[in-house]
């Protein structure tokens, strides 16, 4: 089919496209068709109406065609500014995976356990819950990869690795190049997640199927005490970076153990989730330094892009129960995804949040959709129906695809003004943004460092 389309363009404009030129044109036509539900012939007919193409000589025809397609592909940005074509990411089209596997109800089919974790409480918990599942012992989880070549099709397969974490329990948030860093610390409670969000950055970092879970929290306690001696000041720390903090908590019981270890430490500890797994939180006494947070999005985005996660209503109901128990809450609007009706659906979501829950919260963070080039290619293969990466995304200074600055500023300004209608006290901050974008912030807290110290210094008030 694509060969036929190429010929139609070459005949219509009487020139030949080389390999790279055709890759760019094909990608642009493909994305315009996806975004606007158009067929390819309609897009070619529109090109034929542009008399500048035939007037241009030789290879200039390609540049005129490309420019017209870029204008059509990025209509909002075209109206606002000149598009730097170097920032438009045009790659070969990736077909959907033939044996595509997306997450289903969590029910492991295999459990692999490292020798050093074979008498752990975690293995016993899995044996109690999934008595029928075959358990296989390995010296190290990496042995699995030596025997089974990893393919993207295996990514979310229900396989569990119970390991002894040796090195990476705690580290500073890597943030992103050329953007303001946040001074947040990450407690690594495994890698992988039973949910399946189309935009999840973990998809590009994993060479393992399934979920890796550490069984040796005692070693984390020792490392953490050493770290506190070195940094000598309070920190903010969370577990939701490489997994969902609570999705498997009814099995791992991590939250109970960590709440009780950290309640008297000089940290703000955040459990971040898209689930309703709050039973362990309700069994434990809250503490001012333990914060439970929910990532939220409008329900129509949850339905399309956040597979197997809890509904918005269920997330907020769980948050209410947890708040009534006495825990502090925070919320993350991240990623905020632009669409024609984004204002309506995000405004409604903010209204729903504040109708259901009583502010102030410990913090609200905002972050617009972003992702690497690799992630876009993966999403195309794993989520063929998702259109989020066909939005107006350009390569930023950190080489991530992001909305243009004017659009990010507008989104943040509007989100903040809608939040402030209900709540003037909760600190709101931006995730992975640069100094220029931070200027949209209200109040005097205009950098991630300001926010960080405000949050830490106000946690017990
Ligand atoms: S809940 Fe978080 S970690 Fe899990 S798939 Fe979604 S984005 Fe990834």
Out of 20, 44, 73, a domain closes at 73
Asked if the structure places residue 82 within a domain, the reply is no
Residues 86, 48 contacting (CB under 8 angstroms): no
Q: Are residues 66 and 182 in the same domain?
A: no
Q: Are residues 42 and 179 in the same domain?
A: no
Q: Where are the beta strands (DSSP E) in 168-276?
A: 170-172, 184-187, 196-197, 211-214, 235-238, 267-273
Q: Are residues 191 and 65 in the same domain?
A: no
The pLDDT value recorded for residue 82 is 94
Atom from ligand 1 closest to the CA of residue 193: 4
The answer to whether the peptide bond before residue 360 is cis (omega within 30 degrees of 0) is yes
Asked if the structure places residue 284 within a domain, the reply is yes
- φ, ψ for residue 153, nearest 5 deg: -65, -25
Q: How confident is the model over 390-423, as pLDDT tens digits?
A: 999 999 988 999 999 999 999 999 999 999 999 9
Instruction: State which of 200, 277, 304, 386 you would mutate to test the pocket of ligand 1, scoring each by most atoms of that ligand within 8 A of its C-beta.
Output: 200
The pLDDT value recorded for residue 204 is 92
CATH number for the domain spanning 349: value is 3.80.30.30
For ligand 1, atom 8: residue with the closest CA: 200
Instruction: Output the CA 195–ligand 1 centroid distance in Å.
Output: 6
273 DSSP β-pair partners: 294
Asked if the structure places residue 122 within a domain, the reply is no
Query: Mean pLDDT over residues 107-131, rounded?
Result: 96
Q: Where are the beta strands (DSSP E) in 250-379?
A: 267-273, 290-295, 306-307, 328-336, 363-368, 370-371
Q: What is the spatial distance between Cα 246 and Cα 323, in angstroms, rounded to a whole number?
A: 16
* Cβ of 191 less than 6 Å from ligand 1: no
**How many CB atoms lie under 10 A from the CB of residue 444?**
7
Asked if the structure places residue 157 within a domain, the reply is no
Beta strand pairing status for 196-197 and 306-307? antiparallel
Q: How confident is the model over 24-42, as pLDDT tens digits?
A: 999 999 999 999 999 999 9
Query: Mean pLDDT over residues 92-116, rounded?
Result: 94
Asked if the structure places residue 249 within a domain, the reply is yes
Asked if the structure places residue 98 within a domain, the reply is no
**How many CB atoms lie under 10 A from the CB of residue 98?**
7
Q: Are residues 188 and 48 in the same domain?
A: no
* Cβ of 270 less than 6 Å from ligand 1: no
Asked if the structure places residue 427 within a domain, the reply is yes
Out of 73, 94, 121, a domain closes at 73
Closest by CA position to 405, among listed 84, 35, 36, 32: 84
Query: Residue 184: pLDDT above 90?
Result: no
Closest by CA position to 267, among listed 231, 236, 230, 244: 236
For ligand 1, atom 2: residue with the closest CA: 244
* Cβ of 202 less than 6 Å from ligand 1: yes
* Cβ of 53 less than 6 Å from ligand 1: no
Instruction: Output the CA 219–ligand 1 centroid distance in Å.
Output: 26
Question: What proportion of the chain, given as a percentage, has pLDDT over 70?
Answer: 95
* Cβ of 416 less than 6 Å from ligand 1: no
Q: Are residues 178 and 68 in the same domain?
A: no
For the record, the structure tokens of 338 come out as 């632009």
Query: Residue 460: pLDDT above 60?
Result: no
Closest by CA position to 108, among listed 156, 159, 163: 159
Out of 73, 106, 136, a domain closes at 73
Q: Are residues 393 and 245 in the same domain?
A: yes
The distance from CA 343 to its chain's CA centroid, rounded to whole angstroms, is 20
Q: Are residues 286 and 391 in the same domain?
A: yes
pTM: 0.93
Instruction: Output the CA 243–ligand 1 centroid distance in Å.
Output: 6
Q: What is the spatial distance between Cα 117 and Cα 115, in angstroms, rounded to a whole number?
A: 5
Q: Are residues 251 and 355 in the same domain?
A: yes
Q: Are residues 49 and 173 in the same domain?
A: no
Q: How confident is the model over 53-67, as pLDDT tens digits?
A: 878 887 789 999 999
Domain, as residue range, for 30: 2-73
The pLDDT value recorded for residue 169 is 80
* Cβ of 242 less than 6 Å from ligand 1: no
Query: Residue 50: pLDDT above 90?
Result: no
* Cβ of 241 less than 6 Å from ligand 1: no
Atom from ligand 1 closest to the CA of residue 202: 8
Instruction: Output the CA 402–ligand 1 centroid distance in Å.
Output: 19
Query: Residue 182: pLDDT above 90?
Result: no
Residue 320 to residues 36, 210, 332, 356, Cα–Cα distance (Å): 40, 31, 16, 7
Q: Are residues 320 and 194 in the same domain?
A: yes
- Say how many domains are in the chain: 2
Asked if the structure places residue 109 within a domain, the reply is no
Q: Are residues 197 and 321 in the same domain?
A: yes
Atom from ligand 1 closest to the CA of residue 274: 1
Q: How confident is the model over 193-231, as pLDDT tens digits?
A: 999 999 999 999 888 899 999 999 999 898 888 888 887
Binning pLDDT at 50, 70 and 90, where does residue 461 land? Answer: very low
Q: How confident is the model over 294-313, as pLDDT tens digits?
A: 999 999 999 999 999 999 99
* Cβ of 244 less than 6 Å from ligand 1: yes
* Cβ of 196 less than 6 Å from ligand 1: yes
The pLDDT value recorded for residue 179 is 59
């Amino acid at each position: 089919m694509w060969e036929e389309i190429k010929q139609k363009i070459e005949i219509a404009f009487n020139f030949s496209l080389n390999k790279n030129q055709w890759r760019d044109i094909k990608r642009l036509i493909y994305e315009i068709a996806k975004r606007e539900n158009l067929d390819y012939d309609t897009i070619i007919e529109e090109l034929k109406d542009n008399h500048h193409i035939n007037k241009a000589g030789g290879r200039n025809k390609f540049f005129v065609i490309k420019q017209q397609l870029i204008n059509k592909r990025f209509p909002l940005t075209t109206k606002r500014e000149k598009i730097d074509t170097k920032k438009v990411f045009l790659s070969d089209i990736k077909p959907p995976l033939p044996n595509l596997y997306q997450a289903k109800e969590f029910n492991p089919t295999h459990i692999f356990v490292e020798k050093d974790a074979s008498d752990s409480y975690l293995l016993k918990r899995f044996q109690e819950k999934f008595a029928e599942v075959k358990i296989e012992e390995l010296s190290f989880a990496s042995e699995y990869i030596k025997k089974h070549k990893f393919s993207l099709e295996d990514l979310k397969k229900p396989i569990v690795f119970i390991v002894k974490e040796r090195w990476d329990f705690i580290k500073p948030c890597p943030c992103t190049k050329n953007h303001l860093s946040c001074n947040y610390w990450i407690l690594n409670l495994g890698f992988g997640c039973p949910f399946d969000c189309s935009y999840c950055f973990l998809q590009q970092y994993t060479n393992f199927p399934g979920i890796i879970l550490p069984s040796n929290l005692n070693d984390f306690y020792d490392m953490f005490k050493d770290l506190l001696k070195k940094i000598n000041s309070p920190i903010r720390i969370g577990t939701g970076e490489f997994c969902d903090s609570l999705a498997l908590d009814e099995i791992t019981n991590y939250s109970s153990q960590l709440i009780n270890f950290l309640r008297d430490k000089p940290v703000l500890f955040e459990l971040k989730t898209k689930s309703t797994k709050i039973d362990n939180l309700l069994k434990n006494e809250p503490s001012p330094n333990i914060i439970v947070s929910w990532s939220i999005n409008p329900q129509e985005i949850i339905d399309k892009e956040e597979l197997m996660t809890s509904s918005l209503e269920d997330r907020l109901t769980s948050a209410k129960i947890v708040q009534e128990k006495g825990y502090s809450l925070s919320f993350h609007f991240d990623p905020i995804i632009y669409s024609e009706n984004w204002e309506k659906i995000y405004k409604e979501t903010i209204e729903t949040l504040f109708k259901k829950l009583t502010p102030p919260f410990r913090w609200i963070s905002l972050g617009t959709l972003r992702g690497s080039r690799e992630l876009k290619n993966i999403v195309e293969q794993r989520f063929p129906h998702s259109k989020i990466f066909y939005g107006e995304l350009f390569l930023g200074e950190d080489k991530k695809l992001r909305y243009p600055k004017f659009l990010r500023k507008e989104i943040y300004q509007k989100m903040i003004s809608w939040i402030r209608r209900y709540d003037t006290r909760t600190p709101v901050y931006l995730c992975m943004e640069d100094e220029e974008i931070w200027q949209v912030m209200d109040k005097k807290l205009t950098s991630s460092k300001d926010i960080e110290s405000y949050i830490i210094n106000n946690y017990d008030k």
